[in-house]
Structure 1
Amino acid sequence: MILLSFDIEEFDLPRENGVEYSLREGMEVSVEGTNLILDVLKENDVRATFFCTGNFAMNAPDVMRRIMDEGHEVACHGVDHFEPHETDFELSKQMIEDVCGIEAVGYRQPRMFPVIESEIKKAGYWYNSSLNPAFIPGRYMNLSTPRTWFMKDGVMQIPSSVTPILRFPLFWLSLHNLPEKLYHMLVRRVLKKDGYFVTYFHPWEFYELKEHPEFKASFVIKRNSGSAMVKRLDNLVKMLKKEGHEFMTYKEFVELKKGI
């Protein structure tokens, strides 16, 4: 089982690097990237889960409609990606549901920051996918948390996949920088061990970041961005499909594991 997901947010990387960048500019980058992602998924006939900020949904209703029309799940990713708050759980859900006309049952906190599961449950979510169970200096220190899905305070926790034992992360940055054959090999190892694979990407990774030095993006982020990342995503999906793996949304995964 493949749980492929995308954090659909307003592009705020320049702001993280001290560069003034407006919401309008950030939306232009992310809308372009999201449509490129959707093109790859449509070509390969696979479905994914899109964790969307309230800002993105309110400013790109046509893209949200395309996501749903093409059979993908819409989940919540806070309100403002640059300034996330623990109190965004309910507002994020309300904004997504108002724009999309659906019930949003999943949540992922911007930048995979910690959340309070009891508050997640109170807001009406079935699952939380805000955990990268790896050690990444300056970002995550989660070596003592479970690698695979578990229940906490009545909410299913769906961590991003990491390799067994060493817990090497297999999220977006790994596909940018590892040789593709090595990345694919590590994905197969996780599938053999866990029976499923969870990963996530962002729309701005599919934008030609190398052409914009003013963003002050680091080399590891710019590497294989844009058209190169489109190709890498396409290659990954094709490899997984060829090997007979089923793609499903996070909601479907929860329903399967809980027998809903």
Structure 2
Amino acid sequence: MVLLTFNIINPDWAFKNIGGLRNQDLLEITIQNTKAVLRSLESKEIRATFFIEISLIPQLDTLIKKIIDEGHEISFYHIDSSLEEIERIKKNTEELIEKQIRGIRMKENAFDLNEILHLRFTYVSLIEETSFAFPFKRFERKAPIIEKNGLSILHESISRYSQIPYNDFIFQIMPLSYYEKMVVETIKKDDFVLFYLNSWQFTDFDKDKFEISFFKKYNSGQKLQDKLEAFLTWINEAELAHSRMKDFAF
């Protein structure tokens, strides 16, 4: 099983804006990048989960409706929001889409699990610290999915043999043929692979100026878009099962 997920995050959260782009410009970059991902998914008839940074959600009604109308799932991405803000935005978003928001992606220990359960989330996708300069850092092996306090808790997937995590930069940097072998090996071991990319990785950094390290810029933009489409084609040709998070973690 391949769990395809995408984090919708403004690029100014990760990089210094040296191009003088306004907030509306930054938001438009995020929207256009997300629409590019949606086109790729639609062309391959694959459904995914989109984790949206919580503070962005009130500005993205039209995009959120488009994601839902195309059969994908909306979940939350927590950076620095309060529980009160999460509760308020969750209620408003559920009224907008007429569906329950089931998942939240956050760093481990960001909130007590009982607080997450109280907000009627059914699964938590935990992310590792990725501020290090070298993206191939090996993580301590953890159970890929556990049930605790009524929640499904999913850790980042890790390659069975190399112990390389399936974080956003690994897909961007690693040759696709090797990455595909990793996916097959990990599915055999864990039954699933949790895949994710960030919306800002599809930014044209030659056009939209940010202060960004070389390895994060490498193979970004259109190159990453082409690589994603090739990966989605491979998933279909290899007849690998794929799922939205809410259909897998319950």
TM-score (norm 2): 0.87
Which of 203, 208, 212 lines up with 2:204 in the alignment? 208
Asked whether 1:97 is paired with 2:94, we answer yes
Q: Partners in 1 of 2:119 and 2:144 — Cα distance?
A: 24
Distance 1:136 1:193 in 2: 28
Kindly report the root-mean-square deviation, in angstroms, between the aligned alpha carbons of the 2 structures: 2.6
Higher relative contact order (CA 8 A, sep 6+): 2
Aligned partners of 2:30 and 2:73: how far apart in 1?
18
| CA–CA distance in structure 2, aligned partners of residues 136 and 165 of structure 1 | 24
Aligned to 1:131: 127
Query: Residue 127 of structure 2 aligns to a residue in which SS?
Result: coil
Q: CA deviation at 1:101?
A: 2.8
Matches of 1:102 and 1:120, distance apart in 2 = 18
Q: Find the aligned partners of 2:85 and 2:158 in 1 and give their Cα distance.
A: 28
In the superposition, the TM-score normalised over structure 1's length comes to 0.84
Classify 1:204/1:143 alpha carbon distance in 2 versus 1 (closer, same or farther; 3 Å). Answer: closer
Gaps of 5+ in 1: 256-260
- 1:201, CA displacement in angstroms? 0.9
The whole-number CA distance in structure 1 between the counterparts of 2:96 and 2:56 is 10
CA offset digits 1:66-91 (Å, max 9, x no partner): 1011100111123xx5x444655423
Consecutive unaligned residues in structure 2, runs of 5 or more? none
Provide, for residues 79-128 of structure 1, a one-character-per-residue CA deviation record: whole Å limited to 9, x for no partner: xx5x444655423422432432321011112xx45332121111110000
Q: Partners in 2 of 1:22 and 1:55 — Cα distance? A: 17
> Which amino acid in the other structure matches residue 209 of structure 1?
F
8 Å CA contact retained: 2:57, 2:89: no
Q: Percent identity?
A: 21
Relative distance call for 1:139 and 1:220 in structure 2 (3 A) is closer
CA distance in 2, matches of 1:58, 1:142: 36
Matches within 5 A, 1:211-250: 211-212=207-208, 214-250=209-245
Alignment of 1:1-260 (within 5 A): 1-13=1-13, 16-17=15-16, 22-78=22-78, 81=79, 83-85=80-82, 88-109=85-106, 112=107, 114-115=109-110, 116-132=112-128, 137=132, 143-144=139-140, 146-164=142-160, 166-212=162-208, 214-255=209-250
The amino acid of 2:60's aligned partner reads A
Alignment length (residue pairs): 247
